[in-house]
């Protein structure tokens, strides 16, 4: 199993498409330039650059290794790093400005990877295209190191640009294609918490002290974009999905179930049972601290509602008619959950739960 703690699940079948070195040659008379940065998970490195005025394209890919045509299955073994290659118009945005954005996305003091993603394929690096980029990168790193912002040396490599191979199509613009998974990954990777601690809240005055890291609170509009209609109805409007016609009611695979909004671990397949109700049911939560219970008097009944503690999402209800050993039935809505199969726990950022299935 690859040494990665990546949070997100890549679902479905992906067709591998590797594309050799991307050239800076684009149609038109503008003088365009390239910038290549490695900052751990390339899903997280595309969005910060894509909306900058003067940036034309941002590709996720692999660089800095040996051998031809790396792909997601072998790039680490070939010594490649996950990186992004940026095509930009220097008349509108400078390389120094791109460097400033880059430093605000990473932990430049970590030699062993970035946040939960461990291994040399996730280390940070700047790949310079020419001597001027090299000079600016070295100066920028030196000044940032002298600022004392981190309290320890910066280890980000500054290397000569090498062949860059575009990653598979399902990796491109992952944040746009899979917003709920992407935001859940960022929230649990530790990246955003670290950046707020070092740089302050992006919505506060520059460099203002950051609050303690908490789950991001999404707006109503953001949630509607992140969630399917049934997921939104269940989690945000206290809805109930149709029994026997939902995703996990008869799921028998080994793995864990997490909050669809926050990504917090909630239940394990080891505690799942067939309640005959048509909804996924569990005898106990995997992490009790991740749920909150409250009295629900709706529908002329007195029930105990279960909500995600950090997300605030409606998950379902708990009843006292379950089997031993607890005698409880946590009756959940599939639409409030996301299932992480046992074989994907490590790469999805839940490696510590693998031990549950090795008994």
* CA atoms 45, 46, 47, 50: torsion sign: positive
Q: Which of 274, 250, 259 is nearest to 314 (CA)?
A: 259
What's the CATH number for 33-199?
Answer: 3.30.1060.10
- The rounded mean pLDDT for the chain is 85
* Per-residue pLDDT at 58: 97
pLDDT, tens digit, 9 for 90 and up, residues 245-277: 999 999 999 999 999 988 889 999 999 999 999
DSSP for residue 80: -
Residue 12: phi and psi, rounded to 5, are 85, 180
* Per-residue pLDDT at 5: 40
**Residues 291/309, Cβ–Cβ less than 8 Å:** yes
β-pair type (55-63, 164-166): antiparallel
Residue 19's DSSP bridge partners are 166
β-pair type (124-128, 157-160): parallel
Q: Which of 185, 173, 150 is nearest to 262 (CA)?
A: 185
Token reading at 65? 């290794």
Q: Which of 153, 38, 141, 156 is nearest to 108 (CA)?
A: 156
Number of neighbours of residue 306 by Cβ within 10 angstroms: 24
The C-alpha atoms of residue 277 and residue 322 are separated, in whole angstroms, by 12
Question: Could you give the C-alpha distances from 85 to 28, 50, 126, 129, 275, in angstroms and in order?
Answer: 19, 11, 11, 11, 51
Q: Tell which CATH architecture fits domain 232-357.
A: Beta Complex (2.170)
The C-alpha atoms of residue 89 and residue 160 are separated, in whole angstroms, by 21
Number of neighbours of residue 122 by Cβ within 10 angstroms: 25
H or E, element range at 198:
helix 191-199
The C-alpha atoms of residue 227 and residue 336 are separated, in whole angstroms, by 10
Residue 213: phi and psi, rounded to 5, are -60, 125
Q: Which long-range contacts (C-beta less than 8 Å, at least 24 apart) are formed by 301-305?
A: 305/238
pLDDT, tens digit, 9 for 90 and up, residues 184-225: 788 788 898 888 888 864 433 333 333 223 455 778 888 888
The C-alpha atoms of residue 110 and residue 153 are separated, in whole angstroms, by 9
Residue matched to tokens 């106990």: 284
The C-alpha atoms of residue 303 and residue 300 are separated, in whole angstroms, by 10
Residue spans of the domains in the chain: they are: 33-199, 232-357
pLDDT, tens digit, 9 for 90 and up, residues 63-85: 999 989 999 999 999 999 999 99
The C-alpha atoms of residue 351 and residue 341 are separated, in whole angstroms, by 11
H or E, element range at 145:
helix 131-146
DSSP for residue 151: S
* Per-residue pLDDT at 23: 40
Token reading at 196? 């707020």
pLDDT, tens digit, 9 for 90 and up, residues 317-339: 999 999 999 999 999 999 999 99
* CA atoms 102, 106, 107, 108: torsion sign: negative
The C-alpha atoms of residue 124 and residue 253 are separated, in whole angstroms, by 36
Mean pLDDT for 130-138 is 97
pLDDT, tens digit, 9 for 90 and up, residues 43-62: 999 999 998 889 999 999 99
Enzyme catalytic residues: 41, 331
């Amino acid at each position: 199993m690859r040494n990665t703690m990546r949070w997100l699940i890549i679902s479905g079948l992906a067709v591998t498409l590797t594309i050799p070195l991307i050239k800076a040659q684009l149609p038109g008379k503008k003088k365009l330039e390239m910038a290549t940065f490695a900052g751990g998970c390339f899903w997280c490195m595309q969005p910060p650059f894509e909306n900058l005025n003067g940036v034309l394209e941002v590709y996720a890919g692999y660089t800095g290794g040996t051998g031809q045509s790396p792909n997601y299955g072998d790039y680490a073994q070939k010594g490649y790093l996950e990186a992004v290659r940026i095509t930009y118009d220097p008349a509108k945005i400078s390389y120094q400005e791109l460097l400033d954005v880059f430093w605000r996305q990473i932990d430049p003091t970590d030699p062993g990877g970035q946040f939960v993603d461990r291994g040399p394929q996730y280390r940070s690096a700047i790949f310079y295209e020419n001597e001027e980029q090299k000079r600016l990168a070295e100066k920028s790193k030196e000044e940032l190191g002298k600022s004392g912002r981190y309290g320890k040396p910066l280890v980000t490599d500054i290397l000569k640009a090498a062949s860059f191979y575009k990653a598979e199509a399902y990796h491109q613009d992952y944040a746009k294609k899979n917003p709920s998974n992407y935001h859940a990954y960022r929230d649990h990777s530790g990246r955003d918490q670290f950046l707020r601690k070092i740089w302050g809240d992006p919505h506060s005055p520059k460099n203002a002290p950051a609050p303690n890291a908490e789950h991001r609170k999404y707006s109503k509009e953001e949630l509607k974009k992140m969630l399917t209609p049934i997921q939104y109805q269940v989690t945000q409007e206290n809805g109930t999905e149709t029994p026997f016609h939902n995703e996990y009611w008869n799921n028998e695979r080994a793995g864990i179930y997490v909050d669809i909004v926050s990504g917090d671990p909630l239940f394990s397949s080891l505690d799942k049972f067939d309640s005959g109700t048509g909804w996924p049911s569990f005898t106990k939560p995997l992490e009790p601290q991740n749920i909150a219970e409250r009295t629900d008097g709706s529908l002329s009944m007195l029930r105990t509602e279960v909500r995600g503690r950090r997300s605030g999402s409606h998950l379902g209800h708990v009843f006292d008619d379950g089997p031993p050993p607890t005698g409880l039935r946590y009756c959940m809505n599939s639409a409030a959950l996301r299932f992480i199969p046992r074989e994907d726990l490590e790469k999805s950022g839940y490696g510590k739960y693998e031990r549950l299935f090795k008994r």
